[in-house]
Amino acid sequence: MAESEQNKVLQEAFHDAENAVKFAERVSGEVALPAINQLRYAMCHLVEEDVERTLQHCLRAKYDAYEAAIGYFLDYIASFFIQKFPTDILDRHLGEWKKYRERFLTARTFLCSLRKLRDAEENVFARVEEELSELIKIRDAIDASYAEIRTERLRLEEEERILMEQEAQDRENAKAREERRRYTISLWWTICGTILGAMGIIIAIFK
């Protein structure tokens, strides 16, 4: 490989890896340390003029950065689905939520298989970028609907709480009415017994 062509390949490799690292840090808000370390190793091998190992570490840096980005989006989407919003609310505000959930599970399976790869290859990155594109779409859809979904669930929970309190109050009122009914019956029996007893005494006196 000619020196000019070699420099071009190295430049593109560093550029791609650096962009991947910046992307991962931008979406997650965290430093992609494993990817940065790979870039450091690449620089060391570049100084040693070991082109092959330099390119390997650039690819690895890109791989680690994308892995971190996928992991971030998976955690983000999982934190939404773990809240277990009622399906009727999701149907109204996030119509494709079932499709999103299946896509999330597919991406999670892919990430697990990705971690088993020992060497990152270019054909892997095409699939990585496809998964990232889909996960970003899901994240954006969730963000656009989350406020409405959460507000409606809170409203339904409040309505359910009020209904339960009303039912509890109705039970207490029914219990109080039953106790008053029993007390009234008992009182009438007492009065009737007293009257009958008095009548018995009167009859005995006038015999």
Q: How confident is the model at residue 84 (pLDDT cuts 50, 70, 90)?
A: confident
User: What global pTM score does this model have?
Assistant: 0.70
- What does the alpha-carbon distance between residue 95 and residue 117 come to, in Å, rounded to a whole number? 35
Given this model, what pLDDT does residue 186 score? 82
- What does the alpha-carbon distance between residue 198 and residue 202 come to, in Å, rounded to a whole number? 6
Q: How confident is the model at residue 207 (pLDDT cuts 50, 70, 90)?
A: low
Given this model, what pLDDT does residue 77 score? 93
Q: What does the pLDDT average to over 7-26?
A: 87
Given this model, what pLDDT does residue 142 score? 94
* % of the chain exceeding 90 in pLDDT: 18
Given this model, what pLDDT does residue 206 score? 67
| Per-residue model confidence as pLDDT tens digits over 108-165 | 888 877 766 545 455 677 788 888 889 999 999 999 999 999 999 999 888 888 888 8
Q: Are 54 and 42 in contact (CB under 8 A)?
A: yes
Say if residue 51 is exposed, middle or buried (CB neighbours under 10 Å; 0-12, 13-18, 19+). middle
| Per-residue model confidence as pLDDT tens digits over 40-83 | 888 888 877 788 888 888 888 888 888 888 889 999 999 999 98
pLDDT averaged over the chain? 84
Q: What does the pLDDT average to over 173-195?
A: 82
| Per-residue model confidence as pLDDT tens digits over 179-188 | 888 888 887 8
Given this model, what pLDDT does residue 30 score? 77
Q: Which residue has the tokens 């009020």?
A: 162
Given this model, what pLDDT does residue 149 score? 92
At CA 127, angle to CA 123 and CA 132, rounded to 5? Answer: 140
Lowest mean pLDDT among 89-93, 160-164, 202-206: 202-206
